[in-house]
Amino acid sequence: MNNISENIDKITQKMKAAAVRAGRNEDDVTLVAVSKTKPVEDLMEAYNHGVRDFGENYVNELTDKIEKMPKDIRWHMIGHLQTNKVKYLAGKVFMIHSVDSVKLAKEISKESVKKDIVTKILCEINVAGEESKFGTSDLDANLEMIKEIALLPGIELCGLMTIAPYTPDAESNRQYFKTLHDFAYGRAREYIKGKPVLSMGMSGDYEVATEEGASYIRVGSSIFGERVYNK
């Protein structure tokens, strides 16, 4: 038995408190419930408790859940995306957080133009430079990528996303959230449409990320419980 509704309440409270602590408006940050590997029943419990933003990592699972879930959900693609899967996603998701190459952005652009839509995207920056993650921590290289992506038709570059290292010490990730924030509001600012959206913070560090300016926190296991991959 899990307590999805209770977990959502607790996390929402802590998220809003963190925003206020940092002098932000409590409505400037949104909880994205990361539901990968979880059954539709669990997502429905979150939905019935008021959640409208869901994050998924795998294209097949995401399109399957889109079919089965209510239509007023904002779906966030947060997982690594292969170019050959883009055609299944374009037009179905609210935002793609995980754009980590010009090649991928070009494919999203192409599919969006074909469908006559505009797809909202975030560029994923590997701020901590972890080798296991996609993208690079080199901000000069990232700026070049952002400049190219910003020019593509059919996409709207709304901001930046990062996945910080897994650590029991959330404070140690503060530097990475700060770096992403300062980059978005600094050198990358002119290539981003509107106020920069920052997607950062997960179960272990969403309060710190919120203090450093997160627009979306992506929280999975603290809502739905640990994931089991090899059933």
CB 199 within 8 A of CB 218: yes
Cα–Cα distance between 203 and 35 in angstroms, integer? 12
CB 198 within 8 A of CB 159: yes
Q: Which of 40, 44, 52, 79 binds ligand PLP (CB under 6 A)?
A: 79
Q: Which of 81, 158, 202, 209 binds ligand PLP (CB under 6 A)?
A: 202
Residue 107 is classified by DSSP as H
By CB under 6 A, tell whether 123 contacts ligand PLP: no
- Total interface residues for ligand PLP by CB under 6 A: 13
Q: Which of 7, 203, 210, 215 binds ligand PLP (CB under 6 A)?
A: 203
- Detail the DSSP E strand segments found in the chain: 30-34, 53-56, 74-77, 95-99, 119-124, 155-161, 197-199, 216-219
Residue 225: CB partners within 8 Å, gap ≥ 6?
Answer: 2
Window 138-197: residues binding ligand PLP (CB under 6 A): 163
Rounded to the nearest whole angstrom, what is the least distance from the CB of residue 190 to ligand PLP in the complex? 26
Window 27-46: residues binding ligand PLP (CB under 6 A): 34, 36
Contact window for ligand PLP (CB under 6 A) among 59-67, 105-113, 172-180, 219-227 = 219-227
Q: Packing angle between helix 40-48 and helix 4-21, nearest 10 degrees? A: 50
Rounded to the nearest whole angstrom, what is the least distance from the CB of residue 17 to ligand PLP in the complex? 18
Nearer to ligand PLP, 77 or 105 (CB): 77
Cα–Cα distance between 52 and 128 in angstroms, integer? 30
Q: Which of 43, 78, 99, 184 binds ligand PLP (CB under 6 A)?
A: 78
Q: Which residues bind ligand PLP (CB under 6 A)?
A: 34, 36, 57, 78-79, 163, 202-203, 218-222
